């Protein structure tokens, strides 16, 4: 039987996939470029499929939080891409439905944030900013149903999303580099343990 202490840390993969895909989409939301097939491809393969694989790997390690987070947000990316592509098949969604969809994800993220309070400050920041992102996106799509709407909220959400994804990428690289060097080079400020280096197994 394999020694579980020697299993790889799936959080690095999951956080990197989540972070890169989130930054890419929110560069679009911030108004830097139009919706592109690059974002859709990232949503299907990186943010969706690979992140779910990372969640399954977390299940192997007995990490309920990691399994829930990576599988759920991986599924989020797949459903989001399907919603965007559905327009090509004349299966458009209403802005009201999208607003409620995003609000439900905000509520889910709020509960997930509570789970981060015993881990580390960077992971807390990722989920806190993600909660704000979903709220802003829900407001944007809810406001689209009214006349005279603007894209101001969406652009603000784009900036928040870039911060969210950037923090996730930082945490992924911190976990990777700290593990490889056996000491803290990129701090993540663990909450529970007081020593300098927090084992990836505790994420």
R_g (Cα) of the chain, nearest Å: 18
CA angle 108, 109, 110 (to 5 degrees): 90
Chain mean pLDDT for the chain: 91
CA angle 148, 153, 155 (to 5 degrees): 115
**Looking at per-residue confidence, does 111 or 86 come out higher?**
111
- Confidence bin at 2 (pLDDT 50/70/90): very low
| Residue 130 forms part of a structural domain | yes
Look at the pTM and tell me if it is higher than 0.85: yes
| Residue 4 forms part of a structural domain | no
| Residue 153 forms part of a structural domain | yes
- Tokens 């690059």 sit at which residue? 38
Q: What is the CATH number of the domain that holds 33?
A: 1.25.40
| Residue 191 forms part of a structural domain | yes
Tokens coding 75: 């599924």
Cβ atoms of 166 and 23 closer than 8 Å: yes
Work out the average pLDDT over 146-154.
77
Work out how many domains the chain is built from and give that number.
Answer: 1
Q: How many CB atoms lie within 10 A of CB 146?
A: 8
**What range does the domain containing 185 cover?**
10-202
| Residue 5 forms part of a structural domain | no
| Residue 175 forms part of a structural domain | yes
**Looking at per-residue confidence, does 150 or 99 come out higher?**
99
């Amino acid at each position: 039987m394999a020694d579980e202490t020697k299993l790889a840390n799936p959080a690095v993969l999951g956080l990197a996939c989540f972070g890169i895909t989130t930054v890419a989409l929110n560069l679009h939301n911030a108004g830097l470029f139009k919706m592109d097939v690059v974002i859709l491809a990232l949503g299907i393969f990186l943010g969706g499929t690979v992140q779910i694989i990372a969640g399954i790997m977390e299940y192997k390690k007995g990490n309920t939080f990691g399994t829930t987070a990576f599988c759920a947000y991986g599924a989020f990316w797949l459903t989001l891409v399907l919603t965007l592509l559905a327009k090509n098949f004349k299966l458009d969604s209403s802005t009201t439905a999208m607003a409620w969809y995003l609000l439900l994800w905000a509520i889910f993220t709020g509960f997930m944030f509570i789970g981060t309070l015993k881990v580390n400050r960077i992971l807390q920041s990722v989920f806190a900013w993600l909660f704000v992102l979903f709220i802003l996106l829900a407001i944007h799509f809810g406001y689209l149903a009214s006349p005279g709407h603007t894209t101001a909220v969406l652009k603000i959400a784009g900036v928040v999303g870039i911060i969210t994804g950037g923090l996730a990428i930082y945490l992924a690289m911190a976990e990777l580099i700290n593990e490889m060097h056996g000491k803290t080079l990129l701090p993540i400020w663990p909450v529970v343990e007081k020593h300098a280096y927090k084992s990836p197994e505790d994420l």
